[in-house]
Amino acid sequence: MIEQKTRVLIVDDDREIGSILHDFLSRSYDCIAVTSAADALAALASAPFDLIMSDISMPQMSGLEMIPHIATLAPESVVVMISGQRMIESAIEAMRAGAFDYITKPFELTQVDAVVRRALDYRKQRDGRSRATRCDAEKRRLAQALNNHDFIVHYQPQVEIPSLKIVGAEALVRWEDRERGMLLPSDFIPLAEDTGLIVPIGAAVLQTACAQARQWHQMGLADFCVAVNVSPKQLQEDNFLKTVAQALDDAGLEPEFLEIEVTETSLMQNPEIGIQTLTTLRAMGVKIAIDDFGTGYSSLGYLKRLPIDSVKLDASFVKDATSDPDDAALVMAIITLAHNLRLKVTAEGIETQDQLAFLRLLRCDRGQGYFFGRPGISDEMTSGKNKIKLDFDCRPSEPLNKDTTQHRNLAQAAYRN
Ligand code: C2E
Ligand code: MG
Ligand code: MG
């Protein structure tokens, strides 16, 4: 990652002082010099600055008057005042108003250098402290949410593409936070992973999803499968197999109706343990899918060795498959490869009828996406809300030829039609 240079804003109506400071500080920092408070506030409104060095006395708005505006516009910045005379009173006034430090005119550049470094060090420590405090508070909230049962599971329908029948659902966790409303996995899964809380959260999701699948079966949806996401920490954890067996047992669900989704990256973290765990799960009858397939780094040979039943083609490929010939060719290659390895393919993120038509043509097995239904509470799966409306002819797909140029022509023809 390229680290961004520290940004310094210099404000002094005396152009000469401003220019001396600018030339000197530009050796180490990314500096901008302006000659009025109005220009300074405009600069702060358009870009962040780490440090603001401002003259105390300026016509129109003084440096001191500027401080409350800085606190609103750029609360993360640290302020150093330049005082016109050696007067302790103005220095105290500046600090009281919120400046971190001050320099007095005439100044030595070494003094400027020392003050700027001190102010930036302070800023770094302050930011580190507040980040750590925020993180601690968030960890406590996460643990509390688990105790309060604030995690709920939404379900998104999965459709068998040839028959367009809903054959199951993916369980997707949400956090119903009393203050912030409903939070999505991207808001809390990374922290849950870091703190290890993903293990009990994941176990709760497994329990809920298995119980839900059993309930669907009892309602007459006999072959409904439920897919549950499992994170790297869960997969490597000693008790994971027991947790899965317990969830199935408590729900009275046959293992074949549970699918575990793992990502390539999560398997890569400790392939031996991961593969062993998946092999045991599969021997129990649980299905295994590789999630977000195509975004990781698996070699094709590696895919062959994995104990899996299906791959979930990542939504990023589906998105442009009907407009970009390269993506169309990729989708086609992945589906063909998976089928050659006797794996099923579920396409993620299907949003349009065109995308569905294209995937049908390529004999993609299953699909999931807003086109069929958004994730929702379990009732939405059975209320008929996810009925699929189509206005295209459900003719069988064309046979595929393995030649890649023909594949590409076929792909292009498919999305032109
Ligand atoms: P994922 O497993 O790849 O799940 C699919 C994500 O794509 C879901 O986001 C879903 O809402 C979204 N999605 C579905 N159809 C469409 C579509 O047509 N268009 C677009 N743009 N998006 C669509 P969500 O629910 O925010 O979940 C994000 C990720 O969080 C999941 O990706 C999964 O990796 C993770 N996750 C969700 N639930 C759990 C869980 O219980 N445990 C763990 N460890 N991870 C979970
Ligand atoms: Mg998933
Ligand atoms: Mg996915």
Asked if residues 107 and 159 have their Cβ atoms less than 8 Å apart, the reply is no
pLDDT value at 258 more than 70: yes
Query: What's the mean pLDDT in 164-169?
Result: 94
Q: What is the pLDDT of residue 90?
A: 76
Lowest-pLDDT range of 102-116, 287-301, 336-350: 287-301
Instruction: Supply the residue whose CA is at minimum distance from atom 10 of ligand 1.
Output: 375
- Where are the chain's structural domains? 7-129, 149-416
**Topology of the domain covering 7-129:** Rossmann fold (3.40.50)
Please tell me the distance between residue 370's alpha carbon and the centre of ligand 3 in angstroms: 13
Q: Determine if the pTM surpasses 0.85.
A: no
pLDDT, one tens digit per residue, over 22-52 is 999 999 999 999 999 999 999 998 899 999 9
3-class secondary structure, 285: coil
pLDDT value at 408 more than 50: no
Beta bridge partners of 104: 83
Q: What is the pLDDT of residue 414?
A: 47
Which candidate, 388, 393, 337, places its Cα nearest to that of 158? 388
Query: What's the mean pLDDT in 366-389?
Result: 82
Lowest-pLDDT range of 35-49, 118-132, 195-209: 118-132
Ligand 1 pocket: which of 229, 260, 291, 322 to mutate (most atoms within 8 A of CB): 229
Instruction: Supply the residue whose CA is at minimum distance from atom 3 of ligand 1.
Output: 292
Query: What's the mean pLDDT in 319-342?
Result: 93
pLDDT band at 57 (very low <50, low <70, confident <90, very high): confident
Query: What's the mean pLDDT in 196-215?
Result: 96
Q: Between 59 and 414, where is the model more confident?
A: 59
Which tokens hold the place of 110?
A: 């070494």
Q: What is the pLDDT of residue 390?
A: 57
pLDDT, one tens digit per residue, over 276-315 is 999 999 999 999 999 999 887 666 667 788 999 999 999 9
Same fold, 7-129 and 149-416: no
Lowest-pLDDT range of 72-86, 205-219, 228-242, 379-393: 379-393
CATH superfamily ID and name for 149-416: EAL domain (3.20.20.450)
Secondary structure E strands in 179-231? 181-183, 225-229
Ligand 1 pocket: which of 142, 348, 370 to mutate (most atoms within 8 A of CB): 348
Q: What is the pLDDT of residue 402?
A: 36
Q: What is the pLDDT of residue 411?
A: 46
Instruction: Supply the residue whose CA is at minimum distance from atom 12 of ligand 1.
Output: 349
Instruction: Supply the residue whose CA is at minimum distance from atom 38 of ligand 1.
Output: 172
Q: Between 268 and 188, where is the model more confident?
A: 188
pLDDT value at 345 more than 80: yes
Please tell me the distance between residue 292's alpha carbon and the centre of ligand 3 in angstroms: 4
- The binding-site residues of ligand 1, defined as CB within 6 angstroms of any ligand atom, are 156, 172-173, 184-186, 189, 198, 202, 205, 229-231, 261, 291-292, 315, 348-351, 368-370, 375
Beta bridge partners of 374: none
pLDDT value at 416 more than 90: no
Q: What is the pLDDT of residue 269?
A: 80
State the Cα–Cα distance between residues 116 and 254, nearest whole angstrom: 66
Query: What's the mean pLDDT in 226-241?
Result: 96
3-state helix, strand, coil in the chain (%, to 5): 50, 20, 30
State the Cα–Cα distance between residues 111 and 339, nearest whole angstrom: 70
pLDDT value at 352 more than 50: yes
Query: What are the distances in angstroms from CA 145 to CA 139, 149, 169, 192, 254?
Result: 10, 6, 25, 11, 30
Provide CB contacts within 8 A for 318, sequence distance 6+: 331, 347, 348, 349, 350, 355, 359, 369
Query: What's the mean pLDDT in 193-206?
Result: 94
